[in-house]
Structure 1
Amino acid sequence: MLIGCYTDESMEDIILVRVYGKKTELFVDRENEVRNFRILHSHSCGPELYCTFQNGICYEFVKGTVLDKWLVREPTIYRLVAMEMARIHSIKPENGHPVKPVLWKKLSTYLSLINASMIDSRVSEWFQREVPSFDIIASEIEALKKQLSEIKSPAVLCHNDLLCKNIIYNKAKGFVKFIDYEYSGCNYQAYDIGNHFNEFAGVSDVNYKLYPSQELQRDWLATYLETYKQCNSMELTVTDLEVNKLYVQVCKYALWQKRHSQNGLTPAVPGSSYAVAEDSQKQGLYQLCQVPVMQW
């Protein structure tokens, strides 16, 4: 639940209060969320966190327009998104030590939650009818881990859930900011970008005809690399070879995510919702906090 609090009708000084959903702590590391909230704010990449309480947080409201599937493909805006992501990806760990990508740990947690929820007959019946067996899913994830780890995409601080509604565009000041850090953490650079590209197709009403064109992707990636190099004190010139390399890496992660979304069980874990859908084309007949099904 998200509540906006203000003292007058002008709504100039809005404070947001978010109350966590029941049992979301089974999958979301709330301490990590708060830590990354503060890190991003300290680097001018996120709003200020005012306070925390047992089942929620209170933080600054970011003024601007929430992106949609049309705004996100406008050149002026998507280049700002690429630049902001590059800045976040350039934030170094606080202790200076390398950290492991969160992806595989989240997948392991996800599988454990699925296994635990099989005691509910409704969940068990749904999985038997709609998705491969638990053993097949587990073995496929191991194969994916081996293949994707060979891509050698660097581990960076990622948002991990950059759908359109998590991007705020301030036209007057010419910037974008990302919000909602529940799934933020160290992850593969190409994963975060590929996840964002998949979000061009929508969430509840997915249409992959809206997936960004190769031309848009390459322009996005070139803009990203320019800012990423600048933030990391690297040679500023971006070559076609560098764009091609990142493009291939991003495509591999994006295709993996897309494939599993079409199977009805998407292991794009950082951007999950806590619901089980009876039919991937419908809203779902019921919800269970124990079983997260991915949003695309």
Structure 2
Amino acid sequence: MQGDALGTQDVRDPVLLRLIATEMARIHAIHAHNGCIPKPNLWIKMRKYFSLVATEFTDQASNTRIREEVPSKEVLEKEMAWMKEHLSQLGSPVVLCHNDLLCKNIIHNLKEGYVRFIDYEYSSYNYQAFDIGNHFNEFAGMSELDYALYPSRELQLDWLHTYLKAYKRFTKKVEDVSQRELETLYVQVNKFSLASHFFWGFWALIQAKYSSIDFDFLGYAVLRFDQYFKTKPNVMALKIPE
């Protein structure tokens, strides 16, 4: 595929973010389930990852870190159950999702003026708001997480308005995007961003045990869980408009 992988500054560019939002809407509008009502993969996958999380490592330093810096499995399981109960009631549509839209998985063809996504390893039917919230979390980067880069409300609303407008077009709906629709999606996305932290936190703990890649997966997991607990109070205070 011709083009360049994006970085954390690129996804904030006004032109590129609208291309990304439109491309995600196009994928979300694909119906590949032969008329069946698809079910979200999130909770099944998260539960599977949780069951594979290691609590003991071969080196003492990692054992100390996981005891001192990672919440206990009891706490994590309780939070996971709470998320499933709360987020499942938000009314986010289940659509075909990429589920791993980090910056480097977005290829920009400058000459042709479009973006395409790559690496569909984690794609599945999932909550619309999870896919978007997960992408917003990825604004912080991967190797050196900086959550100061998480998109502002203003930037999110710009992105989400473009997305909703495109999604309506791809699903052949003619009505304009209402303010209520926009605010509803904003709340859903930010709440599902919490689930994204847990999903990749579990993933990182598994990688910390079994991966041969030279990366501090344990440290990455710590940062994801920390961000979850840091942002949870403000995010949960958001209300879907009546």
Q: TM-score, normalised on structure 1?
A: 0.67
1:25-73: per-residue Cα shift (whole Å, max 9, x none)?
xxxxxxxxxxxxxxxxxxxxxxxxxxxxxxxxxxxxx110110111111
- Larger RCO of the pair (alpha carbons < 8 Å, separation 6+): 2
1:75 equivalent in alignment to 2:14: yes
Task: Give the letter aligned to residue 136 of structure 2.
Answer: F
TM-score by structure 2 length?
A: 0.81
Q: Distance in 2 between matches of 1:248 and 1:144?
A: 14
Take 2:36 and 2:182, find their aligned partners in 1: how far apart are those partners?
28
Asked whether the 8 Å contact 1:267–1:294 carries over to 2, the reply is no
Runs of 4+ off more than 6 Å: none
Q: Which has the higher strand share?
A: 1
Closer/same/farther in 2, CA of residues 104 and 171 from structure 1, 3 Å limit: same
C-alpha deviation, 1:106, in angstroms: 0.8
Task: Give, in angstroms, the shift of residue 206 of structure 1.
Answer: 1.3
2:106 partner letter: I
Gaps (5+ residues) in structure 2?
A: 225-242
Does 1:184 find its partner at 2:123? yes
* Residues 1:172 and 2:104 are matched in the alignment: no
Aligned-residue offset at 1:94: 3.2
Q: Which position in structure 2 is the counterpart of 1:275?
A: 207
Measured in 2, the distance between the counterparts of 1:236 and 1:271 equals: 40
Partner Cα distance (1:76, 1:243) in 2: 20
Say yes or no: does 1:247 pair with 2:179: no
| Matched residue, 2:3 | 64
Higher helix share: 2
SS in structure 1 at match of 2:125: strand
**Equivalent pair of 2:29/2:167 in contact (CA under 8 Å):** yes
| Alpha-carbon spacing, 1:145–1:161, altered in 2? closer, same or farther (3 Å) | same
Give 1 or 2 for the bigger CA radius of gyration: 1
* In structure 2, distance between residues paired with 1:272 and 1:166: 18
| Distance verdict in 2 for CA 1:182–1:270, change over 3 Å | farther
Q: Distance in 2 between matches of 1:81 and 1:271?
A: 25
Match of 1:218 among 130, 137, 157: 157
- CA RMSD after TM alignment: 2.8
The question of 1:102 aligning with 2:74 is answered no
Asked whether the equivalents of residues 88 and 158 of structure 1 are also in contact (C-alpha less than 8 Å), the reply is yes
- The alpha-carbon distance between structure 1 residues 128 and 270, as it changes in their structure 2 partners (threshold 3 A), is closer
Measure how far apart 1:78 and its partner are.
0.6
The alpha-carbon distance between structure 1 residues 271 and 118, as it changes in their structure 2 partners (threshold 3 A), is closer
Where structure 1 has 5 or more consecutive residues not aligned to the other structure, the ranges are 1-61, 261-265, 287-291
Q: How many pairs does the alignment contain?
A: 218
